[in-house]
């Protein structure tokens, strides 16, 4: 190259006479041209090591190292061997000296006294050539910089595509796969080598209805524009995925499809979550209806069995609180069920009970939601009666609650001792009916014994044959709806 970062073109002038150098400078001086002077061969070599010259004008006759010797040294060095040389001489030369000059790399000979027009014309050619080389070099550097920038941008795009949670897949005009990102490889299991060149509808991921979905997608893309479509595809291991496609196209001449690009999102878990949400909403709707029916039944029957509004308000409020506490217990466990011990604790603490009056024992038993709601109401009724009329109405009374799992069922024994004397009533009240109907709704039963020392209730609920340790009717959807079948409601 014969330029530098300043953009100037450089000429080297070599002559052992100062006046000749001044004359050359005066003739060649022009804008954009830098002239460097040397009065000997060694001085010229020093300049050649530092600068890139577009032309060297060498005087043949110099003391010490002449122009031919300097030219030979220049041709022996890679840095300077391509610098054009014009020899200047005041002596007529024979063919042998001409040959020697051209052999050392000379492009021309000029004779002194110099013809100014000839000198400037020939030097101008090399000046223009240098300018053209500079422009070509600039364009080359710009192209290289642009190519490097594009390469880096492409690398970033590919890296983003590979790291994206969305699989990136490209297609040609025949809907053959021409781009397969690492994210696509991670999602579907197939490598680039497996998928490149295959038609989308014929590749391994297209099973079942996918081929028809691809045909519809291809038709949409050929029509132009962007599209969003859900397609169920297969992984290499056979696992089926629900995918959401975000596709765009590039069109060629005449609006024909040139290429298509798709970003594919795995929405399998989202679809499962949506299905679960729909199921839960349906279950919630079912529960709300059942609970409202239960509340309505409790309200109607409580009203009919209450002697006055104050008694109704007290009894109805207590039963609603019992239902609410069971709901709260289940909500804390995300409606997965409730432990029987926790349910007892919630309902027995509705009143103020001295710990010395209470004995509770039994294994760990998890109740499903509906069973917990029914049994919660039962325990509330038993606790309310014990506080009003039974063992817990007296300081000397004792309540023993014990349960066990036996004979494929849960048995709860509610035993009151030490309270006021009790006798069997002439007719069953609403509380008794509520206890019996609540357990009957779960496929169980309730038995009551009236003795001189106090009342004893035996509550029985069935267990699933495949239930785990202490689990009662573990599947929510297998539990009976919470409804009270009271004939006088």
pLDDT tens string 147-167: 999 888 888 877 777 777 888
Same domain assignment for residues 254 and 356: no
Same domain assignment for residues 358 and 465: yes
Same domain assignment for residues 221 and 361: no
| Residue 402 forms part of a structural domain | yes
pLDDT tens string 66-115: 888 898 899 888 888 889 999 888 766 666 767 777 777 788 888 888 88
CATH number reported for the structural domain that contains residue 234 in this entry: 3.30.450.20
- Residue (of 377, 386, 345) closest to 362 by Cα position: 345
pLDDT for residue 352 is more than 70: no
- 412 versus 302: the higher-pLDDT residue is 412
| Residue 154 forms part of a structural domain | no
Same domain assignment for residues 78 and 226: no
Lowest mean pLDDT among 117-121, 264-268, 309-313: 309-313
> Could you tell me the pLDDT band of residue 301, with boundaries at 50, 70 and 90?
low
Domain of 203 in residue numbering reads as 164-266
> Could you tell me the pLDDT band of residue 290, with boundaries at 50, 70 and 90?
low
| Residue 302 forms part of a structural domain | yes
Q: Which of 217, 243, 266 is the last residue of a domain?
A: 266
Same domain assignment for residues 111 and 177: no
Is the distance from CB of 147 to CB of 154 less than 8 angstroms?
A: no
Q: What is the dihedral of CA 48, 53, 55, 58, to 10 degrees?
A: -20
Same domain assignment for residues 256 and 301: no
CATH number reported for the structural domain that contains residue 35 in this entry: 3.40.50.2300
Same domain assignment for residues 352 and 228: no
Q: How many CA atoms lie within 13 A of 437 on its CB side?
A: 22
pLDDT tens string 335-347: 778 898 888 888 8
CATH number reported for the structural domain that contains residue 445 in this entry: 3.30.565.10
Query: What is the number of domains present in the chain?
Result: 3
| Sign of the alpha-carbon torsion through 314, 317, 322, 328 | negative
- 7 versus 454: the higher-pLDDT residue is 454
Q: Which of 139, 174, 190 is the last residue of a domain?
A: 139
Same domain assignment for residues 416 and 334: yes
Question: Across residues 116-128, what is the average pLDDT?
Answer: 91
pLDDT for residue 488 is more than 60: no
Same domain assignment for residues 258 and 286: no
| Residue 81 forms part of a structural domain | yes
pLDDT tens string 422-464: 888 767 777 788 888 888 888 899 999 987 788 999 999 986 6
% residues pLDDT > 70 (the chain): 88
Same domain assignment for residues 351 and 464: yes
| Residue 314 forms part of a structural domain | yes
pLDDT for residue 470 is more than 50: no
pLDDT tens string 9-67: 999 999 999 999 999 999 999 998 999 999 999 999 999 999 999 999 999 888 888 88
| Per-residue model confidence (pLDDT) at position 24 | 93
| Residue 384 forms part of a structural domain | yes
Give the span between the Cα atoms of 253 and 236, in whole angstroms: 37
Same domain assignment for residues 227 and 355: no
Question: Across residues 274-278, what is the average pLDDT?
Answer: 86
> Could you tell me the pLDDT band of residue 294, with boundaries at 50, 70 and 90?
low
Give the span between the Cα atoms of 57 and 70, in whole angstroms: 11
pLDDT tens string 367-409: 888 888 888 889 988 988 888 888 888 888 999 999 999 877 8
pLDDT, the chain, mean: 82
Q: At what angle do helices 430-441 and 268-305 cross, to 10 degrees?
A: 150
pLDDT for residue 4 is more than 60: no
| Residue 157 forms part of a structural domain | no
| Residue 2 forms part of a structural domain | no
Same domain assignment for residues 416 and 450: yes
> Could you tell me the pLDDT band of residue 321, with boundaries at 50, 70 and 90?
confident
% residues pLDDT > 90 (the chain): 31
Q: Which of 104, 139, 174 is the last residue of a domain?
A: 139
Lowest mean pLDDT among 327-336, 348-357, 408-417: 348-357
* Burial grade of 318 (CB within 10 A; 0-12, 13-18, 19 or more): middle
> Could you tell me the pLDDT band of residue 291, with boundaries at 50, 70 and 90?
low
């Amino acid at each position: 190259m014969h330029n530098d970062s300043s953009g100037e073109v450089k000429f080297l002038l070599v002559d052992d006479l100062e006046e000749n150098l001044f004359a050359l400078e005066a003739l060649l001086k022009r804008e954009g041209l830098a002239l460097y002077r040397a009065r000997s061969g060694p001085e010229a070599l020093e300049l050649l090591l530092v600068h890139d010259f577009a032309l060297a004008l060498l005087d043949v006759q110099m003391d010490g190292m002449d122009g031919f010797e300097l030219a030979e040294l220049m041709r022996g060095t890679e840095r300077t061997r391509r610098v054009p040389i014009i020899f200047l001489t005041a002596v007529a030369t024979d063919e042998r000296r001409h040959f020697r000059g051209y052999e050392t790399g000379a492009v021309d000979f000029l004779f002194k006294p110099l013809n100014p027009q000839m000198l400037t014309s020939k030097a101008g050619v090399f000046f223009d050539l240098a300018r053209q080389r500079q422009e070509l070099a600039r364009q080359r550097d710009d192209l290289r910089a642009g190519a490097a920038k594009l390469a880096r941008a492409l690398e970033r795009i590919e890296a983003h595509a590979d790291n994206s949670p969305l699989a990136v897949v490209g297609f040609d005009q025949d809907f053959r796969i021409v781009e397969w990102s690492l994210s696509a490889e991670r999602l579907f299991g197939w490598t680039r080598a497996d998928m490149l060149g295959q038609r989308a509808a014929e590749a391994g991921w297209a099973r079942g209805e996918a081929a028809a979905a691809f045909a519809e997608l291809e038709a949409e893309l050929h029509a132009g524009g962007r599209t969003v479509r859900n397609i169920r595809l297969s992984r290499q291991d056979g696992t089926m995925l629900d995918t959401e496609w975000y596709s765009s196209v590039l069109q060629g001449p005449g609006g024909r499809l040139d290429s298509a690009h798709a970003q594919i999102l795995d929405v399998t878990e989202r679809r499962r979550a949506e299905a679960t949400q729909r199921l839960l909403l349906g279950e919630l709707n079912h529960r709300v209806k059942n609970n409202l029916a239960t509340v309505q039944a409790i309200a109607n029957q409580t009203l009919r069995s209450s002697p006055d509004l104050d008694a109704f308000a007290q009894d109805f409020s207590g039963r609603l609180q019992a239902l609410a506490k069971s709901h709260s217990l289940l909500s804390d466990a995300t409606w997965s069920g409730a432990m029987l011990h926790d349910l007892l604790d919630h309902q027995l603490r509705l009143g103020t009970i001295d710990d010395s009056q209470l004995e509770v024992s039994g294994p760990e038993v998890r109740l499903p939601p509906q069973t917990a709601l029914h049994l919660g109401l039962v325990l509330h009724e038993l606790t309310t009666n014990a506080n009003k009329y039974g063992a817990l109405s007296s300081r000397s009374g004792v309540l023993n609650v014990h349960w066990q799992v036996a004979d494929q069922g849960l048995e709860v024994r509610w035993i009151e001792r030490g309270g006021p004397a009790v006798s069997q009533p002439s007719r069953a009240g609403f509380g008794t009916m509520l206890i019996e109907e609540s357990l009957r709704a779960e496929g169980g039963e309730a038995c009551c014994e009236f003795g001189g020392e106090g009342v004893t209730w035996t509550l029985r609920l069935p267990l699933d044959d495949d239930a785990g340790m202490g689990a009662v009717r573990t599947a929510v959807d297998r539990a009976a709806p919470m409804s009270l079948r009271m004939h006088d409601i």
